[in-house]
Structure 1
Amino acid sequence: MPVRNKVVAMLLAGGQGSRLKNMTSKMAKPAVPYGGKYRIIDFALSNSTNSGIRDIGILTQYKPFKLNEHIGIGSAWDYDRNIGGLRLLSPFMSEDGGRWYTGTANAIYENIDFIDQLGCEYVLILSGDHIYKMDYDLLLKYHKEKQSQATIAVIKVPIEDASRFGIVNTDENMKIVQFEEKPKQPKSNTASMGIYVFDWKVLRKGLVEDNLEEESEHDFGKNVLPKMLSRDIPMYAYVFDGYWKDVGTVRSYWQSNMDLLDKNNGLKLRDRNWKIFTQSRNLPPQYIHNNSVVENSLINEGCDIAGTVRNSVLFSNVKVEKGAEVIDSIIMSNCIVGKEAKLNRCIVVENITIEAEKSIGRADSDKVYLVAENEIIEE
C-alpha cells in the first residue's frame, strides 16, 4: 500500500495573522485572498489532493466563518468523497470542559480521537498560511526511507532572516542534531517550514506527555520537537528547494503577489500538472473597454476595466473607471476605483470604493499602502 494511503493530514488553519492588519479583521489568515483568485489555504489543500492524500482534518479557530464558507465540504479539492475526505475540526466541549487550542501541538492533541479512529500509521502536519507547491508523497517516502520517526521539511533562508524561524542543524546524512525555535543567534540558515511527518505512535506519546507539562506552551517548535530530540528519537530534515513564502506581513504579502507577475517566478500557477484549486464564484468574463490599458497584470472574472492597470493583481468583480490608474497594486473583490483615481503600491481590501480623483501611494516610495474602510496604513 502506498505510504500516502496510511497517512492523515492535519492542517492548522486557526491563525489570526495579526501582522496582516486589516486583512484579517474579519477572517483567519488562511482565508486571506491571494493571487487574484485564491485564498491562502488553497495551496496546502491543493498540494494535499495533488499528492494523493485521502484524509485531511482542518483545524480552525480564529474567526472561521469565511474559511468554513470557502472550504464547504471540500468539493473544489475533490474531498467530498465516500472513502476518506475532509473534516473541519473546531475546538469543542468534552467531559473535561472546553477551551481554545492553546498551541499547535495542543490543537493536534485535542483531536487524538479523530486520528485514532482513522487507524493511520503517519500524521502529516501542515500550516494553512504559506504559499508554495510541494508533493507531500515525496516527503512521506523520504520519511519512510530514512526510517525516521519525525521529519521536518526545511528550506534555506537568508541568514539575516533566520531568527524568525525554527532553525535546524543536521549531520551529513540530514539527521537532525539540534533544533532551536527562533534563536537570537542562529547557527545555520536551514529553517523549518512548519511541515512535519510523524510516526503516529511516536507523536501520540509525545503529545500526551506534553499535555501533562504545566509549563509547556504546547507548541511543536518550542516544546514537542526539542523534547523528541532530547530523547534521541530519529529525526531527519527534508530539504525543499521550490518557491515558499510566509506571507505574514503586509509587505511580504504584497511582494508575494507581485512575484506572480514575473514570468519566471517559481510558483508557476499555470502548471497544468499541479493545479491550485479553489471555489469558483461563477461570474461573467472580465470586460476591457476601448482605450483602456492593461499590462502585465492578473485580472480575475467579473472585472470591468475602463482605466489603466499595470503590474497589478485584481480579484473578481473589480471596477476600474475611466481615467483611473492602478499601478503595482492588489485590489481585492468587489472594489471600485473611481474616475481619475490613482493607486500605486496599494493593497485594497474587499468591498472598498476609492473616490474619484483620490490619490494613494507613490511610485518613488518603497512603502506599501494598505487601504481599508476609513483607514490607510503605510508599511
Structure 2
Amino acid sequence: MIPIGGLGTRLYPLTVDTSKPMVRFLNNFLIDFTLSELAYRGINEVFLGVSGFYNYRDVYDHLGERFRIKIEGENKIIKIRYQPNEDSIGNAHSVKIMVDYYDISDDVLIIQGDTVASINVNNLYKYHQSSEAFMTIVLKEITDPEKLKQFGVAKVDENMKIENFIEKPSNPKELPSRLVNTGIYVLSKDFVKFLRSSEFNEMLKQGKGDFGKDVIPYLISKKYKVMGYVSNGYWFDVGTLDSFMEASYYLLNNIEKERLDVETTYKNVYMQGKSKRSKNDHIELIEKIATNKVQFEGKNLIGRHVKIGENVKMFSSVVDNYTVIKGENEIRNSIIMDRSLIENGAIVEKSIIGRHVKIGENVKIINSHLGNNVIIGDETQIINSSIWPHRTIESKSIISDKKII
C-alpha cells in the first residue's frame, strides 16, 4: 500500500497544480519509479491511498488499473487499486480505509508516496516473520547531523526492538542512534486487526490517524512489538526540493542505466528513446559532442526528442522529453522538465525548471525553482527564488530571494 495524501507543500512550486506522485522524476513520473522498484522486487498488486482531487485524478488518469514494465525482456504487470472516495486524516487511516474496503487480512507492506528507495522485500519480510513483530519499521542510518534533525530517530535495544523515537531532534550529538524512520513498514495480520479495533477507532475520533505522529508512539507506549530493520540500500524522502534534487543525482550516478530507460550511451551522456526518430536524435547529438559543438561534463540524462543547439555547455543535468535548448546556453546541475524551451544565451544553474516552461534569451536562473507553464521574458535574472505555475515574468526583471505566487 502506498498512502498518497496531503498537498505536497514542501515541493511547491512543483506540486501547486500537480499531485506529488505525478511530478516528473528522472524523465518519468515519481510514482512510476516507485512502482518499477516494487515490480523488480516481485510485487504484483499495489493499493494507492489517494486522497484529494489532484491525487486521485492525476494518478488514475495516468495509471488506470494496471502498471506495465518490461523486466529482462518479459512484461511485468502490477494490478493497481485505489482508496475509495472517503476522506482520511492520516496515512494510517488511509490504510485502514483500504483494508476495510478490500477486506484485507494479510500482512501488508507500506511505502510512502514521496519515498524513493531500494527495498529488498524478501529479506525485509523474512526478518519481519522471524522476529514475530507486530510491526516492522525500516530504518536507515544517517550520519549528517543536519539531516538527522528532519526525521524521527530510533532508540533500539540489543535485539532491534524499538523503544521510542526522538522526533526532529535539536541536538543530534545526544541521540541514542543514527537510525531514522524511513516510512517503510511491514504490518502483521494482527496489526491489520488492530486497525479494525475499537482501540484504533478511538484514536481516530481524537484526530490521530498518522503512523509517525500518532500510531507508532502509541504502539510503543503500549508495549507492542515494534521491530527495526536496517536497510543498506539507498533511501530518499523526496518531499523537499533539496532532497528531490539529491535523489535525482544520486540515482543518475549510481543505478544501472536500464532502470533509467537509457537506450544509447556516449561518454558521460545517457540518452533515452527507442524509436527511429530517437535514434536519429542520438546520432545527431553524438556528432555534435564528437566535433565539440556541444560540451558535456559529469553524467547527464537526455530524454526523448530533445533538441540541443550548438555551443551549449551542460554539466551534470537532467533534460526531459521534447525539450528544446537553443544555442550558447549553459546548464549546470539542473533539472529541466518536459516540453520546456530555453532560448539563446541562457544560464541555468542549480535549479529545477518545471514542465512546459519558456525561458527567453540571455536569462540567468540561479538556485531557483520554476513551476509548470511559466514564461520568463528576455534578459531576466532569477536568483534564489521560486515562481509559481502559470506566471509570466516580464523581460529585464530582476527577482532575488522571492516567491512569485
CA deviation after TM superposition for structure 1 residue 102, in Å = 0.9
- For 1:171, the equivalent position in structure 2 comes to 157
Residues 357, 182 of structure 1: CA spacing in aligned structure 2 closer, same or farther, 3 A cutoff? closer
Among 6, 11, 21, the alignment partner of 1:20 is 11
Contact 1:50–1:135 under 8 Å retained in 2: no
CA deviation after TM superposition for structure 1 residue 237, in Å = 0.7
Could you tell me how far apart the structure 1 residues matched to 2:342 and 2:168 are?
43
Among 203, 206, 218, the alignment partner of 1:227 is 218
CA deviation after TM superposition for structure 1 residue 76, in Å = 3.7
CA deviation after TM superposition for structure 1 residue 165, in Å = 2.2
CA deviation after TM superposition for structure 1 residue 58, in Å = 0.1
How do residues 105-120 of structure 1 correspond to structure 2 at under 5 angstroms?
Answer: 105-117=92-104, 120=106
- For 2:82, the equivalent position in structure 1 comes to 88
Secondary structure in structure 2 of the residue aligned to 1:195: strand
1:283-318: CA deviation from partner (whole Å, max 9, x where unpaired):
962122233333332222212221322332222222
- For 2:133, the equivalent position in structure 1 comes to 148
- For 2:188, the equivalent position in structure 1 comes to 199
How do residues 41-120 of structure 1 correspond to structure 2 at under 5 angstroms?
Answer: 41-62=31-52, 63-64=54-55, 65-77=57-69, 85-92=79-86, 100-117=87-104, 120=106
Among 308, 311, 318, the alignment partner of 1:288 is 308
Structure 1 residue ranges without an equivalent (≥5): 1-9, 93-99, 362-367
Contact 1:165–1:182 under 8 Å retained in 2: yes
Could you tell me how far apart the structure 2 residues matched to 1:161 and 1:87 are?
34
Could you tell me how far apart the structure 2 residues matched to 1:350 and 1:83 are?
31
Q: Does 1:162 align with 2:148?
A: yes
Secondary structure in structure 2 of the residue aligned to 1:110: helix
1:178-214: CA deviation from partner (whole Å, max 9, x where unpaired):
2344466654332111111011233322452211233
Among 281, 285, 301, the alignment partner of 2:321 is 301
- For 1:34, the equivalent position in structure 2 comes to 25
Residues 353, 105 of structure 1: CA spacing in aligned structure 2 closer, same or farther, 3 A cutoff? same
Could you tell me how far apart the structure 1 residues matched to 2:145 and 2:364 are?
38
Residues 295, 146 of structure 1: CA spacing in aligned structure 2 closer, same or farther, 3 A cutoff? same
Secondary structure in structure 1 of the residue aligned to 2:103: helix
- For 2:370, the equivalent position in structure 1 comes to 348
Q: Does 1:238 align with 2:232?
A: no
CA deviation after TM superposition for structure 1 residue 85, in Å = 1.3
The one-letter amino acid paired with 1:126 is I
Contact 2:22–2:31 under 8 Å retained in 1: yes
How many residue pairs align between the two structures? 344
- For 2:300, the equivalent position in structure 1 comes to none
1:123-156: CA deviation from partner (whole Å, max 9, x where unpaired):
1111001222222232112212322231000112
Residues 91, 231 of structure 1: CA spacing in aligned structure 2 closer, same or farther, 3 A cutoff? same
Could you tell me how far apart the structure 1 residues matched to 2:241 and 2:320 are?
22
CA deviation after TM superposition for structure 1 residue 91, in Å = 3.1
* Alignment TM-score, normalising by the size of structure 2: 0.75
Structure 2 residue ranges without an equivalent (≥5): 263-272, 279-303, 394-398
Residues 43, 139 of structure 1: CA spacing in aligned structure 2 closer, same or farther, 3 A cutoff? farther
Could you tell me how far apart the structure 2 residues matched to 1:181 and 1:91 are?
32
Could you tell me how far apart the structure 2 residues matched to 1:286 and 1:21 are?
26
* Alignment TM-score, normalising by the size of structure 1: 0.79
Could you tell me how far apart the structure 2 residues matched to 1:300 and 1:155 are?
31
- For 1:97, the equivalent position in structure 2 comes to none
The one-letter amino acid paired with 2:157 is D
